[in-house]
Structure formats: C-alpha cells, structure tokens
Structure 1
Amino acid sequence: MSLIRMLMRIYNKKWKVILFWTGVLCYACCGTESDKELAGYVNPFIGASTNTEAAGAFHGLGKTFPGATYPFGAVQISPNTITGGDNGSGYSYEHQTIEGFAFTQMSGVGWYGDLGNLLVMPTVGKMYTNSGKENGVKGYRTRYDKASEKASAGYYSVYLPDYGVQTEATVMEHSGMLRFTYPKSKESRIQIDLARRVGGTSTFQFVKVVDEYTIEGRMECTPEGGGWGNGDGNARYTVYFHAQFSKPLTDYGFWNVEIPEGISRKREFVESAQFQKLTSQAQIIQDKKEFQGKHIGFFANFETKENEQILFKSGISFVSIEGARKNLEQEIADWNFDVVKEATKKQWNDMLATIRVKGGTEEQKRIFYTALYHTMIDPRNFTDVDGHYIGGDGKIHTSIGFTKRTVFSGWDVFRSQMPLQSIINPEVVNDLLMSLTTLAEESGNHYYERFELLNAYSGCMLGNPALSVLADAWVKGIFKGDKEKAYTYADNTARLFGNTERGYTPYSISKTLEYAYTEWCMARMAIDLGKTEDMVKYLKLSRSYKNLYDKEKHAFRPRKEDGSFIKWPQRGKLQEGYGCTECNELQQGWFVPHDIEGMVELMGGIQQTVADLDSMFAHTPHNFLWNVYYNHANEPVHHVPFLYNRLGEPWKTQYWSRFICEHAYHDKVEGLVGNEDAGQMSAWYVLSACGLYPICPGDTRYEITSPLFNEITIKVGDNKTFVIKAHNNSTSNTYIQSARLNGKEYSQCYLDYQDIMNGGVLVLEMGNAPNMHWGI
C-alpha cells in the first residue's frame, strides 16, 4: 500500500491515471498466470526482415519491426539498422549493425517507408555525427550482439559491444522510455539525430534546452525530404517531442550539417557516400540553449560509473510541443522503467485476451498471438491525450466522440484486417472511418483516400478500399458518423475513380475489377439511404468486370480506350503486369467477391471454375513464397481458398486454409512470406486459424473453415463470447463432419456477422476424410 500512496501523491490531480497505475501494481503483484500468458506468446521478430533474397522477390518478407509498441499506439521505439532502400520498418534481422533507436515506425510496408524519427543512440568514446555504413564506413552506428537481442510485447533490449552499453526500450501510448546501462567512462554520451527519417531526411529541425534535464523541439518532414514513396507519397508531417534525461545536462551541444543549396534530400542522397562525408563534417556548437537548421543533432556527454544507468524518455505529438509535454507528463511522470514495462505488458494481455485459444502446439500459439499483436499496431492513435489532433487542413482540431487514427493501408487491410477488427475492436473501425471522413472534409478534397498516412493523400495502390470498409461497417451497424456526409464523400470517390465513363478502366484488369466491387459497395449504402437511382446505377457498374472477359482466352483482358484488347502476352494468364498490379490475371481474375455467380457463369460454370481453382493450387509451391499461382505473399488472392465454400466443395476450403496456415506462417524471422502490410497478412491468419473468413466485406457473411485450434473464445461486445469448438481436431482430422450452433444442428458453411456478435457456441465435429454433404 505504501507504493500506491506514493503514486497518489505524485498524481494527486489525475485520478484516472491513479486508478490505471493502481491496477498495474495489483497486476504485477497479484495477477494470475492466465492473465500473463498471452503476451508471453508474442514474438516480435516474426516477419522482421526485408530480405529480398530470402523472399525470392523484390517485395521482401514481412518488413515488421521488433521494437516496443503499445496497442494502436502513436509511439514505437525500435532499433533501426538501415536508412534508405525499400526498408519501411528501418530494420532487417540479418543486418549486423544498429544506427539508433527511433520513436516512430511503420509496420510491414514497402514503397521505401517513412517515420523513423527521433533517432536516439548511446555512444562511448569519440563522437561521430554521421551514421556510418554497414560496409565499414565509421559513424555512430555500432555492431550489436545478436544473442543478446530480446523482444516481447512492449519491450526490447540489446547489448552494443562496441560501446559496452546495454539498451532497453519500453513505451506507453504517446510516449516512450530508453534505459542505457553504461561502462565506466568519461566519454559516455546520448546523441539524437534529429534529421533522420527512414526513407530520407526531415528537412527542418529545432531543439531547445528547457532546463538541466529537459529538451524539446520538432522535426518537419516534407516530400522534398523523401519518406513515403521517396516523396511521391506526399507525406507532410511534423513530429514534436518533449524529452527528459535522468541525469543533469552539464555538458551538451548541437551539431549542424551545412546542406548545399539545390541538393536532393531524398533516399538516394542518404544512401550515398557524399551524404556520409557531408554529415561527418558537421559543425559542433556548445554555447547555445537552442538551435535550428536543415540537418542538426543534439548530444549530451556524461561521466559514468560501471553499470550506471541513464534513462531517456520522451512524449511524441504530431500537434505541438505542448501536446508532447502533456503526453509525457500524463503517461510517464517518473523514472520507473519496470513499472511502465509492466503497464504496457498488462495492456497487451488485455487486448490479446479478446481471443483465447486452446489446443494446438506452443509454436502455433506463438504464431497466432504474434499475428494478433501485429493486427493491433495500425490504425494507430493520432490524437494527443487532450483530444487534439492535426487535421487535413494543417490546423489543430479536437476529437469528439472518436479517436483520430492514421495509417490506413487500404488496398491491403480492407480484405482481412478491418473485418477482423469489426469483430474484436469495432470501435477502432468506427474511429478509422470517422478519421477518414474528417480528413476528406478538412482537406477540402471531399473524397476518401486509398492509403492515408499522417493526413497524406498518397494515392498508393489502387481501387477505393475506404468504400469497402465503410460499406462493411455500415451494414454491420458499426459506423456512427453522419451517413449522408459519408455517402457524399463515397459517391465523390467512386465518380473520381471508377468505371463510370466506359464501363471499364482502360489498360487495367485490376482497377476495373476492384472498382466494380466497390461500386457494389456503393449500391449497398444507396439501398440503406433510399437512393434508388444511385442503387440502380452502381449495381450496373458493379457488373463492369464482365466487360473485360474474353471467352476465347478464358481470361480477363485489359482494353484500350477504343475498346480493343491489349495483345495477349507470351505467358498468358501467368504474365505479371498484363493489366494487373502486383499480380497476374490468374490471381486478379478471382476478384469478383460481390458476384461470384456471375463470375462462375463467365468462367464456364461451376465444374470448370473448380477445375481452374484446383489447377491453381496444384501448381502452387508449398513454401508459399512469391509465385505466379496462389501467391499468398500478396493480397489479391487472399480470399481465393474460401471460394470453394461458394462452389459447393467446402472441404477444399477446409483443406487449403488449414494447409496455408501451417505452411505460410512460422515462428521465425522468415515467418511471414510477404509484407505484413499494416496488419493484413496477420489478420488473414488470425481469422483462418479461428475457422472464419469474409470473402466479400460489405456482405455480413463469414465463411466457416477448419479451425487450427480445438477451442477459440472470442470476446464480442460487453460480457459476451462466441466460442468455436472443434471436437476430435488434429493435424490429420482437418475436415468438418457436422456442426451445431447454439445446440442446434447447423448445415451451412458460413455464419452471419450478427450470429457471431450475438454470442454463442459453434461446435464442429472433425474427421480425417471430407464430408461431401455438409455445408453444400
């Protein structure tokens, strides 16, 4: 009780925070083993590689980061091993050196990436102002002891042998803390590269020494400095920080790099030898309290005893320095690293407990809970603790009734990630849609962006994925916003990007099919609002996919503006890029989720369609790395195994979904065969391992398939659960023999969303041979 009284004195005006930390203390002292176990299954190293050689494709592997993060939090403190290249997370496991620990990261994305701001590095000895290169160019970069590297939910640690420093990181929602354990030295140091950014540089920085323990400042990131899409993603944001050191700042300074006028600040620049030379010649300034420039850093020198610990903590805000200060003060008011670590671990346990599994192997549980963990990184909190956020107009707004969120990897996450969250975290889906709607309004664009990053209209990828998420939340009763306003913006989106002009999109199979699907989504919303004319118009457009089908070639083909087909390629349906984005016709051609009957008719009937599916899977390599058949490494095919449910052969869905779970996901660094893509790759696994999957978001149907675990308990709403029990389940008994829903015989191979959200029990009897009569 003395610890609680102490905390009450510290937080005497913040009762909400008192209750939170009291809960943490009770958890640390009294928590049961079942409360603690789930976070212990998380292995943040799964997918933490950008290695293109191991992936067999230029897209690389998972591209996740191993550092500390909070559920849907704004801060991620993670080691960064590389600046430049197509390394969105800033980290790849096979790299042998670390250049620092950044406070912001992206998870699983390509297109060069962004964030990686506030790069903090503990150093000892001679000070370098350049990062150095792994190929031997000296800098503050250092080797790290791979054997010492540890990561868990909300915590990361590693030993840096070149400096003799043990580094540990933990976070809260808007703030984070680093703990450095130094050797005895008169030249120990913490240095902060304020210009650093994953895909380039920030273009202006400011830092001020507030008192003997505190600094604060900002880093402005613009497209001219590279970042998302090497500048083509239009990311324009400012990171504000309010940071404190546990040891007084008695010897500190700044470094300043003179950037020549007219020089590019983008990825190619930071990858160059010229950049290393230029940044190694920085001017050192030690007679000022504040400094600003185009490429600056801050350092603080300390004399340390053997094993002396110096801690660094910072609040992060995308709104203001004042916001960063409030974030830090409310979340990490003292220097108790271990209490913060336990608080974040408790939060992860609570969040992961939305789904509990029984049965399966320990390895499968690690894969499952790591996947669930990866689905709870984005869309992240973009709002300060006081409710302020920066809007699409660059002005400060207050979030009322929702949490402003960011990082919407639309083309990826509409397929599995958002349908998963609609079950376990529906408020997050509503937050995202409210955020996208306010962005459409505040920006003056009045349409929905397909990949939003920190208010940027990046235009990344294709289709209108926000319309899918909106329609799905709409029909599920999740969206709480102004429906007329949302529909207006959705209608604007579909008009700007769609099949309206010709009934197809020239030169693109991918766009035509994806737009046809979201035009169906528009019809769904129009029906609800009684907009009959729009409903008729959009239902007609939803059949635009038919306008590209060539029965002679048994394939979709891209058309020119004049309606003629583009020449058939040498590899036929296997030719990647033939009217398709990141895939081929064999893969993209299955994407007619809203009209499977119409698709089957085009393809020659059910028997022919099943034969084509069977052939696709028969040719697919069992490691599921990038390939021209069922390419699980990328999103366009993620619904394909579940089509058998709609074609009268659900036992094949059961076989292949289970097979993919067991062969495409592993408890190792190379455990994701493709980019994580802000939760999509992992959400596919979570849903499939639970025995559920939505082919067509916007429809409330979830396909039933073979669960990986014997029992899955999903929290749905307040005090309700939906339980899936697989009796006689094993690696050989993968086929559903019969089913009972809430005690009654159930013969359908799908559930409605409301069946799940109402709570209940689905019992599946499993066997080692297909039951060709169940689910038909």
Structure 2
Amino acid sequence: MKPFLGIPLFLLLLSSCRPDAPADLLSEVDPFIGTGGHGHTFPGATAPFGMVQLSPDTRLTGWDGCSGYHYTDPMVYGFSHTHLSGTGIPDYADVLLMPTTGEARIHNGADGQPGYRSAFSKERETAEPGYYSTFLEDYDIQVELTASERVGHHRYRFAEGGQVNVILDLEHRDETPRAFLRRVGDDELEGYRISRAWAQEQHLYFVARFSKPIAGLRLFRDGAEVDGATSLEDERIKAALRFELDSEAELQVKVGISAVSMEGARRNLDADPPGWAFDSIRRATQDKWRIMLSKVELTGGTKAERRTFYTALYHTFLAPNLFTDVDGQYRGTDLKVHRAEGYEQYTVFSLWDTYRATHPLYTILQEERTVDFIRSMLAHYRDGGQLPMWELAGNYTGCMIGYHAVPVIADAYLKGIYG
C-alpha cells in the first residue's frame, strides 16, 4: 500500500517516479515566488539538487540580497553559477558573466557610474524549472540560461552580428583573497577563485568554453589593465572578452565548475554532451524536474493553490547540492580533497531549518538520496571532526545551535533506510 499525506487543501498521493509525468507540471511551478519580500530565493536555472545554480544577480549587498536576486530590482549585473535559496546570510554568486555591446566596461556600475550592468525587462523575463530568460535593455541582448548537474549553459542572442563583449568578474560580491584566470586555446578560459564570506574559505574552479573563437582578451588587476597578459593571479581579477559574430548573432557559453580543481571542472564540462546543445540540455533537465515533481500528485485546490504547493516542492528539491565531481572527488570539511566511494557527496546542509520536516520528507520522496545525504554527513565527521552544523562548501559555518544531524540520521535509521 502506498503511503499518503492529507492536508486541508489537497489530497496528496505519493507515487513512484514516472518518466511519463504530465508535461504541464512545469507550468505549476513559479520560480519567482519567494524572490520578493524577504523570501531570499533565486529564479535561475538548476537541476534537482544540482551543483550549478545559474541565475541573475541584481543585488550585491544586504539581507534581502542573500540569493543575489530581488524581484523589485531594475538592474542586473550578470549571471553567476552558484546561489543559495532561502538562507538568512549571503554567499556564493561565483563566476559572473555579463554579455554587452559597444565599449567594454569592467566596472559594475553599482555606484551609479557607467558600468557593465544593464536594465532588464520584467515583461520579457521568464523562469521555469531548469530554464531562465531575460532581455538586457541597455544592450538589446536576449539571455537564456539552463544547467545540467555540473555545467551552466548560456545562450546570448544579439540584435545584430559584429563585435560583442562578455565580461567575466571574479571579484563579484564576495571577498576574494586569491583568484586566477588563464586563456586556453582559441575558445576557452580556465580559472578559480578562493572567496571569503559566510564560508570562510570557499574553493571554486571553472572552465568556460565559448561557441565562437575569442577575438580579444583584456585582463584587469584591481581595475587596471595588465597589457598583453593571457593569464593572471591576484585578489581582484576581471576580464573583458571580445567576439566577432556573423549574421546569426548568437553566442553560447558553457561553464563547468568544481570545488576540487580546474582539471575537475574540465572533466565535469566534458561529461556533458559535446557541441552546442542548449535546447537538448534544457529538455533533459526539465525532464528530471518533471520526474521530481510527479512524486506528489494533487487533486483539488485552485490553480493558485496548486502553484503555491508545486513551487514549494520545487524549492524543496534545490538543496542540498551535489559536491562530487564526475570522478567522485570532493573537498572535505578539512578543506582537503577526498573521494566519495559508492555515493555522491553533498553540501549546503541547513539542518536547523530542515531536520523537522524537510529531511523526513526526503525519507519518503528521496530514499536513495537520503542515503547519500547521511553518508555525506558522516564524511563531514570523518574529514573535519564533527557532524555538519550548517556546512557550506566544505566549511563549518557554526551558524546554528544544537546538533541537528543526529535526528536526521536517527529518523532515517528507524525507518529502515541504511547506507
């Protein structure tokens, strides 16, 4: 007999994963719910529990900028590859890319001076599970974002061909004690940034591959151009890339990330389908979301109530986040590199928020992943000496009272979920 849960508005029937889930389940989700007020959610593209959360950044500071985005903001700074959802402290927003036209500016414009940020159209802004799109009004650029588990995919459509720019900002938002950027061949950059915010030492490595050759590269240290440089290591690094587009006027970018190494980021990138398959990546990720959302069937309720419910379910499947590379390596709570054997390591354990209801729900809807979550917690103990207390990117933030991993582990064990 399949278990069921009853609540006043709906009869919820928990069912098995089904590949033939109704396609319209995606339309039941509104990723903009929670992006205003004090919700602290982001609207961008991510796979369920994915390593990449590719989303627009509209706010650099403040409590309501925790996710990097607030619905009321009129300007967007760019699109970065990691984001937190629903937290009370900001972090992440790693590897910001911003397409522009005209003069390439490397200042972000937050102080009101000319910069690379742009007004963006709310009327032309859309979001679905696994997909986000907006229009940059200052540059006449349509931006589309999607993501696989470990790779962010961008598609930029310009008003016309010719010279265009992409700004890469490695000092975006967080303090960056160390960063590195290097050109690799005609169409690729690799680099890293080690940042300090809520996580005191976050390691983020990346490889960015472009669909067109890089026609020009300018590197900047602390706002000053380093003439002729093709690589740079420092605290405050930005880059301005130039491309020459044909009449198709389209540029795609895919960015693999890793907490381990640039080599790990490259392996993650190369594990995605070769070539430029934005639409197929979007379809594959959205099919994963259909399967996830189909784990709960609803009968009754208004359209608005159904949307509220399915959006909450969607938010439930955003984190914890995958932390292992395709070869099983991850960065542990001792900040050293380890290998997960026979499971996937996860990060972002907001346990004082999630031990009461979210993790017990995972034991019903995500039994196999629950095993990985618990093995991740035990790895945190093995690597760093204690179970996670708001663990973030391999860092103990110490941002909670109590030891909430214990009831999560005990609850799963008493339900017969063993690893």
What is the TM-score when the length of structure 2 is the normalising length?
0.92
Matching residue of 2:135: 159
* Deviation, structure 1 residue 463: 1.8
Q: Give the one of 172, 187, 191 matched to 1:217.
A: 191
* Deviation, structure 1 residue 286: 4.7
- Distance in 2, matches of 1:40 and 1:334, equals 29
- Distance in 1, matches of 2:394 and 2:203, equals 11
Q: Which amino acid aligns with 2:392?
A: L
Matching residue of 1:206: 180
Helix, strand or coil: the match of 1:121?
strand
Q: Which amino acid aligns with 2:135?
A: Y
* Deviation, structure 1 residue 241: 0.5
Matching residue of 1:474: 413
Q: Give the one of 32, 47, 53 matched to 2:34.
A: 47
Q: Which amino acid aligns with 2:373?
A: L
Deviations 1:390-411 (A, max 9, x none): 1122322211122100101111
Helix, strand or coil: the match of 2:310?
helix
Matching residue of 2:122: 146
- Distance in 1, matches of 2:342 and 2:246, equals 50
* Deviation, structure 1 residue 430: 2.1
Going from structure 1 to structure 2, the CA distance change for 1:307 and 1:82 (only over 3 Å counts) comes to: farther
Matching residue of 2:214: 249
Matching residue of 1:74: 51
* Deviation, structure 1 residue 366: 1.5
* Deviation, structure 1 residue 461: 2.4
Superposition misfits of 4+ residues, deviation over 4 angstroms? none
| Structure 2 gaps, min length 5 | 1-18
Helix, strand or coil: the match of 1:146?
coil
Query: Which runs of structure 2 are paired with 1:87-102 in the superposition (5 Å)?
Result: 87-102=65-80
- Distance in 2, matches of 1:291 and 1:347, equals 39
Contact 1:235 1:454 in 2 (8 A): no
Going from structure 1 to structure 2, the CA distance change for 1:136 and 1:306 (only over 3 Å counts) comes to: farther
- Distance in 1, matches of 2:92 and 2:274, equals 25
Matching residue of 1:238: 203
Verify: 1:312 aligned to 2:312, yes or no.
no
- Distance in 2, matches of 1:71 and 1:193, equals 27
Q: Which amino acid aligns with 1:110?
A: G
Contact 1:195 1:203 in 2 (8 A): no
Higher relative contact order (CA 8 A, sep 6+): 2
Contact 1:252 1:286 in 2 (8 A): no
Helix, strand or coil: the match of 1:331?
coil
Matching residue of 1:687: none
Matching residue of 2:152: 176
Matching residue of 2:3: none
* Deviation, structure 1 residue 235: 3.0
Contact 1:183 1:304 in 2 (8 A): no
Deviations 1:146-195 (A, max 9, x none): 10000001000000010111100000000011000112365410111012
Going from structure 1 to structure 2, the CA distance change for 1:91 and 1:410 (only over 3 Å counts) comes to: same
Deviations 1:24-52 (A, max 9, x none): xxxxxxx96x5312122111001012x3x
* Deviation, structure 1 residue 303: 3.3
- Distance in 1, matches of 2:407 and 2:302, equals 35
- Distance in 1, matches of 2:45 and 2:139, equals 22
Higher percent of residues as helix:
1
Helix, strand or coil: the match of 2:22?
helix
- Distance in 2, matches of 1:304 and 1:322, equals 29
Helix, strand or coil: the match of 2:343?
coil
- Distance in 2, matches of 1:331 and 1:478, equals 32
- Distance in 2, matches of 1:363 and 1:307, equals 40
Q: Which amino acid aligns with 2:171?
A: A
Helix, strand or coil: the match of 1:292?
strand
Matching residue of 2:335: 394
Matching residue of 1:645: none
Percent identical residues? 38
- Distance in 1, matches of 2:232 and 2:156, equals 26
Contact 1:157 1:168 in 2 (8 A): yes
- Distance in 2, matches of 1:185 and 1:37, equals 36
Higher percent of residues as strand:
2
Contact 2:106 2:240 in 1 (8 A): no
Q: Which amino acid aligns with 1:68?
A: A
- Distance in 2, matches of 1:195 and 1:307, equals 32
Kindly name which structure, 1 or 2, has the bigger radius of gyration based on alpha carbons.
1
- Distance in 2, matches of 1:300 and 1:476, equals 54
Matching residue of 2:304: 363
- Distance in 2, matches of 1:407 and 1:101, equals 21
Q: Give the one of 282, 287, 294 matched to 1:341.
A: 282
Contact 2:166 2:240 in 1 (8 A): yes
* Deviation, structure 1 residue 136: 3.1
How many residues end up aligned between the 2 structures? 400
Verify: 1:188 aligned to 2:164, yes or no.
yes
Q: Give the one of 239, 245, 259 matched to 1:298.
A: 239
Deviations 1:54-104 (A, max 9, x none): xxxxxxx21100000100000011000011212210000000000010000
Helix, strand or coil: the match of 1:211?
coil
Supply the RMSD in Å over aligned alpha carbons: 1.6
Q: Which amino acid aligns with 1:62?
A: G
* Deviation, structure 1 residue 355: 1.2
Matching residue of 1:385: 326
Contact 2:257 2:265 in 1 (8 A): yes
- Distance in 2, matches of 1:204 and 1:183, equals 37
- Distance in 2, matches of 1:69 and 1:285, equals 35
